[in-house]
Chains A and B, each alone.
Chain A
């Protein structure tokens, strides 16, 4: 009996094992998912803020920009980037007023004349929000989910699972609410400090909200006494701020479909800001819905569960596992662009011209923290597109002298496409202009900085550290931004030269750098007393394993002109302090475009933006009267010849003064499978998935072809193991 049972157990175990082995597959998705019109991708960093007021990073924007709809957006295909209406009927024309309140009749008045600017925007009618429980109404027409208890909603993991859902039309007041929310100190909007300089009354509104919150907290603290804990108190009972209580003229609702926003001064870049999710509509119903204690307890909030009118809605948000975006069934009519930039027709980007979008029904993003597993999944066909990590660059791309970057034959065989684009991003190494040794504006100091810039060959750096993925920078303005000049016209004459043969900018020779060092008073890198010029490199990158090799490269380059470099690494806290106090010599920085306007880069060297003086983005504390003057003229000017001339002039000033070593503009490389179509890199907008499509049948076919399981090694291994044990078992038995 016992023997029979043992036999039975063994047989079951063997069968289970066999079933497990035979049923094995490396497909990470549920059966049938790949055959649907689904886009598969991954995310390395879990998004933490999906509230349009506070979401700031790219990985957060990639999610919420597909859910929320700002008034304006960017054309998908046209380059240079062009702003087009999104939920607005048209791009508004600003009305300028002078100090006396009179309308200025000039089309583009000088900034000094303008005391107030008004924009009036008409909204498109009939735009509906996604289905969401915050809009659900009961039989009496009242909100379904008011004063809900935790028990009532315990079974739901996400608002999309709630039994009752509803929708309503997008109205102007939703935009007004969101702009007011930007002033809510609890949301810590990262753009508040900059936009409050322009939007009339926003800074004052923030102060009023601070006072309202402080009064409520004081009341609660008095009631609770010494046991009061703000954090725990507001977790259990969030403060409901009446956003519309204070007056605010900066963003007024003048009708159900009409908004008027008012600026304190001329600032045409406001239209770019209005393309961002910070200015997307938020319905009052959603704010009220999420402010209920039970929702708070369940961690349902705008930070995790957005409510929008965009092409997709968030169906599942498990920030540490999977994010699923599903096509919004209420999405308004939207169509693929019918015109694009040069080369788009040839690239097949206009095949879908005029067709209704979105094409993709679902987007599934799985958490993939490490680059190697992510890359392997891409090669297996389970991820539709991928970047290229440094470790696998050689496996994917071959750089040839004549043709540039080409995909490896294996990649080509798989039908993978390589898409490259120069990012509107600047990397630079700044010189602290307040420093006694390396700063200052005398001819000698300028020549010293030019010499150092000249010897820092970032073409070499790109080859060594970034597989050539970048373009040598010539100044603050990257390609793709108005004012940037390519080729020989764009060369920095003080440091670089144009190599026509290789069609690229290159640093001038080491001999020229040495000659400049002599003119700067440092022949062979030594001062008049014969002491070597020694500079300090400040950073907080000590934990970065690649820093040491990059630092050694920098030190080696400077050694060529006799300049010594000290590593002044410190922790982030001390490093920031040093920057604030101007207590540093050399340090690296970068700037990613907020919007495609030269002002967004040229202000990095505008005097009043100095880090020490005003805590601004001018990290190097550069201050040139002439540059500042030209900047004031250029910043609010319309693009055209006049603006280009001003930019050219400013570039020359900043290139000659050399407050920074212009490192490079990075080039992004992306790989796409053959079934993933209509892909064009867009550096300004993340709401691009709606234009793209996947050929699901081709994907399934390829995945099956590339992922046939292999079993024989296990049979072999088991056999070998048994064989190896056989002699000793037999010997023991004989014993």
Chain B
């Protein structure tokens, strides 16, 4: 098992290296350090000398891939690629181009804010979606099934932005029950700011979630062991909630574990519109301020978490389904 985990993790290394290389080419060839300097220096009163100084101070004055002025290993280590890109593998994210703040510290500081929204949304929406999906499966073929399905399709067709804006309009402006947006990190003040984004997150994932889980349940319901359970005289509720749910765990788990990186990385739209200072918001800020040091780190972190979550999916399969064994 341990060997399997190591092997699976190592498979992820070339992917991360590829991501890193692509990022480097994108950030240092398409948009050169000179451009970054001009952006950060304000564009109004700048000289080439200032640009060169900025590059020197931010570690961009080095050669990109090979430093011929140095002897080995400085040929490789004294380059932008090594110092800015390869250091990401050691989680040394460096400093923001914009305000010199430590990116690693900032990421750690913001993760809880993202989790404040994404974890409750994830838990509540999973519970609600599973529950409704089972109810719908329970009442399959009735008007409940039909209308819930129609509702799901309609809700899936609506953009997440719509839910956010109309959620703010309905709950804050018309009913005046929660603040439109904002955040207060002090306990217990943050609860009132979390209610609306969590509610909107749950509502926006309702359509897709219910349909997905309903399909899984319906697939299970037609299997032999369900027929056996019914033949034993078990009630439909027990059949569904006890037997079908247990056996439907595999696809549910896949869906759940793959969501982990998204939980940590936060929601771009939600955080932006509700003013939640999480990682999604950090990413948007970095894009709008052209802070490439932050962007590089965030993209790398996203890729890393995704690779990790795929490994976790594989491991979780073995735990949930004893039939799956690792050779």
Chain A interface (Cβ < 8 Å from any Cβ of B): 20-21, 24-28, 30, 45-46, 48-49, 56-57, 185-186, 188, 190-194, 210, 225-232, 235, 297, 299, 301, 303-304, 318, 320-322, 366-370, 372-373, 376-377, 379-380, 382, 571-573, 576, 594, 615, 617, 707-711, 713-714, 725, 728, 731-732
Contact with A along B278-304 (1 / 0, CB 8 A): 000110110011000000000000000
Contact A617 B45 (CB under 8 A): yes
Contact A235 B102 (CB under 8 A): yes
Contact B284 A56 (CB under 8 A): no
User: With A301-B100, A320-B282, A368-B275 in contact, do A185 and B56 touch (Cβ < 8 Å)?
Assistant: yes
Query: Which residue on B lies nearest to A301, using beta carbons?
Result: B100
Contact B289 A24 (CB under 8 A): no
What 5 A-B pairs are tightest by C-beta distance, nearest first? A320-B277, A48-B99, A28-B179, A190-B42, A373-B181
| Least Cβ–Cβ distance between B284 and chain A, in angstroms | 7
Residues of A within 8 A of B143 (CB): 728
CB interface residues, B 155-188, toward A, < 8 Å:
165, 168-169, 172-186
For the complex, give the distance between the alpha carbons of A188 and B42 in Å.
Answer: 10
Instruction: Count B-side interface residues using an 8 Å CB cutoff.
Output: 78
Contact B45 A190 (CB under 8 A): yes
| Least Cβ–Cβ distance between A518 and chain B, in angstroms | 40
Residues of A within 8 A of B24 (CB): none
For the complex, give the distance between the alpha carbons of A377 and B275 in Å.
Answer: 13
Residues of A within 8 A of B49 (CB): 193
Contact A188 B177 (CB under 8 A): no
Residues of A within 8 A of B288 (CB): 45
Contact A188 B57 (CB under 8 A): yes
Query: Which residue on A lies nearest to B282, using beta carbons?
Result: A320
Chain B interface (Cβ < 8 Å from any Cβ of A): 30-32, 35, 38-42, 44-50, 53-54, 56-59, 70, 72-74, 77-78, 83, 87, 92, 94-96, 98-102, 105, 110, 139, 142-144, 165, 168-169, 172-186, 189, 192-193, 195, 272-275, 277, 281-282, 284-285, 288-289
Contact B185 A376 (CB under 8 A): no
Can you name 21 A-B pairs with beta carbons within 8 Å?
A25-B177, A25-B178, A26-B173, A26-B180, A30-B189, A48-B289, A49-B98, A57-B42, A190-B44, A193-B46, A194-B45, A227-B77, A231-B59, A297-B102, A299-B102, A303-B101, A368-B275, A369-B273, A376-B168, A573-B31, A617-B45
Contact B176 A25 (CB under 8 A): yes
Residues of A within 8 A of B284 (CB): 369
| Least Cβ–Cβ distance between A380 and chain B, in angstroms | 7
User: With A320-B277, A367-B277 in contact, do A373 and B180 touch (Cβ < 8 Å)?
Assistant: yes
Q: Other than the known A24-B177, A25-B192, what 18 A-B pairs have Cβ atoms closer than 8 Å?
A: A25-B177, A46-B285, A188-B41, A188-B50, A190-B44, A192-B50, A231-B58, A297-B102, A299-B102, A321-B277, A367-B275, A370-B273, A571-B30, A573-B30, A573-B31, A615-B47, A714-B175, A728-B144
Contact B45 A193 (CB under 8 A): yes
Contact A321 B183 (CB under 8 A): yes
Query: Which residue on A lies nearest to B75, using beta carbons?
Result: A226
User: With A299-B101, A373-B273, A709-B175 in contact, do A231 and B83 touch (Cβ < 8 Å)?
Assistant: yes
Contact A732 B139 (CB under 8 A): yes
Contact B175 A710 (CB under 8 A): yes
Contact A709 B35 (CB under 8 A): no
Query: Which residue on B lies nearest to A197, using beta carbons?
Result: B45
Query: Which residue on B lies nearest to A712, using beta carbons?
Result: B175
Residues of B within 8 A of A615 (CB): 46-48
User: With A301-B100, A708-B176 in contact, do A193 and B50 touch (Cβ < 8 Å)?
Assistant: yes
Query: Among the interface residues B47, B92, B98, B193, which one has the most CB atoms of the partner chain A within 10 A?
Result: B47
| Least Cβ–Cβ distance between B252 and chain A, in angstroms | 25
For the complex, give the distance between the alpha carbons of A615 and B178 in Å.
Answer: 52
User: With A48-B99, A321-B185, A366-B182 in contact, do A26 and B176 touch (Cβ < 8 Å)?
Assistant: yes
Residues of A within 8 A of B192 (CB): 24-25, 28
Residues of A within 8 A of B275 (CB): 321, 366-369, 373
| Least Cβ–Cβ distance between B31 and chain A, in angstroms | 6
For the complex, give the distance between the alpha carbons of A380 and B181 in Å.
Answer: 12
Query: Which residue on A lies nearest to B145, using beta carbons?
Result: A728
Contact B95 A231 (CB under 8 A): yes
Contact B175 A376 (CB under 8 A): no
Contact A376 B144 (CB under 8 A): no
Contact B74 A226 (CB under 8 A): yes
Contact B77 A28 (CB under 8 A): no
Partner of B181, one of A46, A377, A709: A377
Query: Which residue on A lies nearest to B179, using beta carbons?
Result: A28
Contact B99 A188 (CB under 8 A): no
Residues of B within 8 A of A366 (CB): 182-183, 275
For the complex, give the distance between the alpha carbons of A28 and B42 in Å.
Answer: 34
For the complex, give the distance between the alpha carbons of A320 and B46 in Å.
Answer: 29
Residues of B within 8 A of A57 (CB): 42
For the complex, give the distance between the alpha carbons of A707 and B38 in Å.
Answer: 47
Residues of B within 8 A of A372 (CB): 165, 168, 273
Contact B173 A728 (CB under 8 A): no
| Least Cβ–Cβ distance between A389 and chain B, in angstroms | 14
Partner of B272, one of A229, A231, A321, A369: A369
Contact B46 A573 (CB under 8 A): no
Partner of B87, one of A30, A229, A301: A229
User: With A303-B99, A573-B35 in contact, do A226 and B41 touch (Cβ < 8 Å)?
Assistant: no
User: With A193-B47, A226-B77, A303-B99 in contact, do A26 and B179 touch (Cβ < 8 Å)?
Assistant: yes
Contact A728 B181 (CB under 8 A): no
